[in-house]
């Protein structure tokens, strides 16, 4: 996906402040944070939305969740954190490359609206 901003971050063409990186996953600080800590966790593989994920992607999606926990530990989110994935534009997905938001550093309410 030549024009995908997250693919460009994952392959190093666009700089980002990375906090976690493996062969499969990259996590970096969001440029427009919605909380004091706001990190995006992306797979290096381009998958546009969760709706596009295949059975073969299950392990990769699990690695994303595990990476979210590792990011929270690295950033000392000991009072708790929220992990969110928006799916499709109607739910707030603005970059069509599967990603998790790891949010922390403040209290969160439920429901989230």
Q: Per-residue pLDDT tens for 2-12? A: 689 999 999 99
Q: How confident is the model at residue 108 (pLDDT cuts 50, 70, 90)?
A: very high
Q: How confident is the model at residue 1 (pLDDT cuts 50, 70, 90)?
A: low
| Position 111 in a domain | no
CATH code (residue 62): 3.30.428.10
| Position 113 in a domain | no
- Show the tokens assigned to 82: 């929220």
- Show the tokens assigned to 33: 């944070």
| Position 14 in a domain | yes
| Position 64 in a domain | yes
pTM of the model: 0.96
Contacts by 9-17, CB closer than 8 A, 24 or more apart? 9/42, 10/42, 10/43, 10/44, 11/44
Q: Per-residue pLDDT tens for 24-79? A: 999 999 999 999 999 999 999 999 999 999 999 999 999 999 999 999 999 999 99
Distance CA 22, CA 17 (A): 15
Tell me what pLDDT residue 113 has.
Answer: 75
Q: In the predicted model, is pLDDT for residue 96 greater than 90?
A: yes
| Position 11 in a domain | yes
| Position 109 in a domain | no
Q: For residue 46, what are the domain limits?
A: 5-104
- Cβ proximity of 50 and 87 under 8 Å: yes
Catalytic-residue membership of 20:
no
Report the number of distinct structural domains present in the chain. Answer: 1
Q: Could you identify the residue written with the tokens 């901003």? A: 5
| Position 73 in a domain | yes
Peptide bond into 96 cis (omega under 30): no
Nearest to 70 by CA among 2, 112, 18: 18
Q: What is the mean pLDDT of residues 75-94?
A: 97
Q: Which residue among 29, 38, 46, 99 is the active-site one?
A: 99
| Position 112 in a domain | no
């Amino acid at each position: 996906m030549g024009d995908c901003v997250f693919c460009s971050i994952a392959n190093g063409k666009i700089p980002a402040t990375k906090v976690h990186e493996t062969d499969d996953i990259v996590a970096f600080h969001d440029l427009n944070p919605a909380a004091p800590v706001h990190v995006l966790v992306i797979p290096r593989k381009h998958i546009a939305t969760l709706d596009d994920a295949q059975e073969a992607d299950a392990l990769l999606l699990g690695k994303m969740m595990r990476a979210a926990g590792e990011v929270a530990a690295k950033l000392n989110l000991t009072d708790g954190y929220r992990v969110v994935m928006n799916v499709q534009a109607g739910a707030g997905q603005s970059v069509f490359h599967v990603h998790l938001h790891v949010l922390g550093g403040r209290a969160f309410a439920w429901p989230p609206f």
